[in-house]
Chain A
Amino acid sequence: MTRRQWWATYLRLFAVQGSWNYETMLGNGIAFCLEPLLTTLPEEHRRAAVARHAQYFNAHPYLAAVAVGSLARAELDGEDPQRIERFRTAACGPLGSVGDQLVWAGWLPLCSLLALGAFGLGATPLVTVCIFLGLYNVGHFALRAWGLRVGLTHGLRVATALANPVLRQGPRVIAFVAAPLAGVAIPLALQRAIGPGRAVAGAVVVAAMVGAAALAAYTRGRAQGWRVALLALAIFVFYSVAR
């Protein structure tokens, strides 16, 4: 494999969800990303591989890089198509749940909280945005590159690479860092957003804690918070305009 092929695949990985849909989900995106790595295969073999990989597939978009690398290695090594199909089916669950826990429920909230904390400490718009995007994307770009590399190295035996401590312990470590950070960053951000008036900031924090407990207890995850916020703000705006 040439460096050009690797980069072409890596860049395509950023568009792996470009055709996301409820029927094939990531399927077409996986075939799109694999295509540069399959150019050395004989025409008939390459066409069969593209057809195979454009079928249903689902995973976390960043860890889909692992699947793309593994599937490319398998195709280049001439693995049995049935074995490749079994791998595709088996990989969906782990690559989805590990990625969701590590990135969506870990790394992303952590970077958001750091940016909120920076805002609370008086950072300018440019600095706040750079902290968030810079930090988040160091992890993001590295995870995609790592996924593609381990996939291409291990092929269908990539399960051993998924035992990597970052993937196994990462969500827990991030939670230990993010929980106290949330306790510091949210009040700091609130105070700067509210402006002068410590009493108002204190009242907001107390009201928010009580409100959050009520929201968690009464909705039990049935209603999304942003919809509740939309309703509450619509009522408030109506009250202020109509009274």
Chain B
Amino acid sequence: MLIDGTALLLNALPIALLGAILGLDMVSFPQIMIARPIVSATAAGAFVGRPAAGLLIGVVLELIALETLPFGASRYAEWGTAGAVGGAVFAAQPVGVPGALPVGMLAALATAFCSSWSMVVVRKMNARIVRTYRCAIDAGSAEAVTNIQLRCMALDFLRGFLVTLVALLIFVPLGRLLVNRWTVDAVHARAVVITVAATVAASAIWKIFHTTARAGWLFLVGLVGGGIWIALQ
């Protein structure tokens, strides 16, 4: 669907708009967690006409995103745009091709890397906007306060739009190229991707809960229960 020149750009624009909304949610407004990959990738997959494919890559990305704790000034992955790009790139591949999931994941994580950097840039630009209004703020102008807020949010929206658009324009054709040259079989390709995601998820769970007494044992109890459930199915 998302291929070739003008058609690619036209198809990418609505998803870029979606990426802008999802990217805005990460920090600026309204933080209702539509930026989490389980939501953002599913939404992008639905835009391309394959919500189930979007959910699949969203779940794998969510395993990795379990690690992301957006503490204040720390630099972390921005999953709104990343999920939108990953979901769209994966869902745009033909059904059942072996390399689609690894390539979609690579697109999503590379976008997360760029959008993480873009957030730092926007935060510095926000500081510059605040400085330009300094005199008005010191005079207690409520209008200046509102203007700063709106300008900074517009900037963040634009950041999400541009990151998603550029990432789609790169990764949709590149993804098609990589998938066409893919050599590892589907079962192993998927197993490698999911092992990587599960490794990060298990590490994240340990990092988050290891300070709580007996949490490790509770995790193991759950793991045994989950294993029995799967075995009985």
> Which residue numbers of A lie inside 8 Å of B, CB to CB?
14-15, 17-25, 28-29, 31-32, 35, 46-51, 54, 58, 61-62, 96, 100, 104-105, 108-109, 111-113, 115-116, 119, 124-126, 128-129, 132-133, 136-137, 140, 172, 175-176, 178-195, 197-198, 200-201, 203-205, 207-209, 211-212, 215-216, 221, 224-230, 232-234, 236-237, 239-241, 243
Q: Is B169 an interface residue (CB 8 A)?
A: no
Q: In the complex, what residue of chain A is closest to B110 when comparing beta carbons? A: A230
Task: Give the distance in Å from the alpha carbon of A194 to the alpha carbon of B230 in the complex.
Answer: 13
**Residues of chain B within 8 A of A201, CB atoms compared:** 230
Known pairs A119-B55, A230-B106, A237-B102; A105 contacts B208 (CB<8 A)? yes
A203 to B227, CA, bound (A): 12
3 tightest A-B CB contacts, nearest first: A183-B222, A47-B140, A212-B202
Q: Report whether B191 and A200 are in contact in the complex, using a CB–CB cutoff of 8 Å.
A: yes
15 pairs, CB–CB < 8 Å, chain A vs chain B: A18-B149, A21-B124, A96-B72, A175-B212, A178-B208, A179-B219, A183-B225, A212-B200, A227-B113, A232-B196, A233-B105, A233-B193, A236-B102, A241-B181, A241-B182
Asked if B39 lies at the interface with its beta carbon under 8 angstroms from chain A, I say yes
A221 contacts B224, C-beta separation under 8 Å: no
Q: Which of A20, A61, A234 contacts B126 (CB 8 A)?
A: A20
Point out the residues of chain A lying under 8 angstroms from B137, CB to CB: 28, 31, 50-51, 54
For B131, list chain A residues within 8 Å (CB): 23
In chain B, positions 186-222 with a C-beta closer than 8 Å to chain A are 187, 189-209, 212, 214-216, 218-222
Q: Is the interface of A mostly helix, strand, loop or mixed?
A: helix
Contact pick for B140, options A15, A51, A207, CB 8 Å: A51
Which of chain B's residues have a CB closer than 8 A to the CB of A229? 64, 105, 109, 196-197, 199-200
Q: Chain A residues with Cβ under 8 A from B67's Cβ? A: 224-226
For chain B, give the interface size range: 35 or more
B126 / chain A contacts, CB cutoff of 8 Å: 19-21
For A197, give the chain B residue with the smallest CB separation.
B187
A15 B190 Cβ-Cβ under 8 A? no
Consensus secondary structure, chain B interface: helix
Assuming the A-B contacts A229-B109, A230-B110, are A180 and B102 also in contact, with contact meaning beta carbons closer than 8 angstroms in the complex?
Answer: no
Q: Which residue of A is nearest B199, CB measured?
A: A211
A203–B199 Cα distance when bound, in Å, is 12
Cβ A32 vs Cβ B145 within 8 A = yes
Instruction: Please tell me if B65 contacts chain A, counting CB pairs below 8 Å.
Output: yes
- The 8 Å CB contact of A179, one of B152, B216, B230, is B216
Are A112 and B148 CB-contacts (below 8 A) given A15-B29, A183-B220?
Answer: no
Pair B68/A226 contact, Cβ less than 8 Å = yes
Contacts of B138 in A (CB 8 A): 51
A182 & B130 in contact (Cβ 8 Å cutoff): no
B209 near A179: Cβ-Cβ < 8 Å = yes
Contact B109 A230 (CB under 8 A): yes
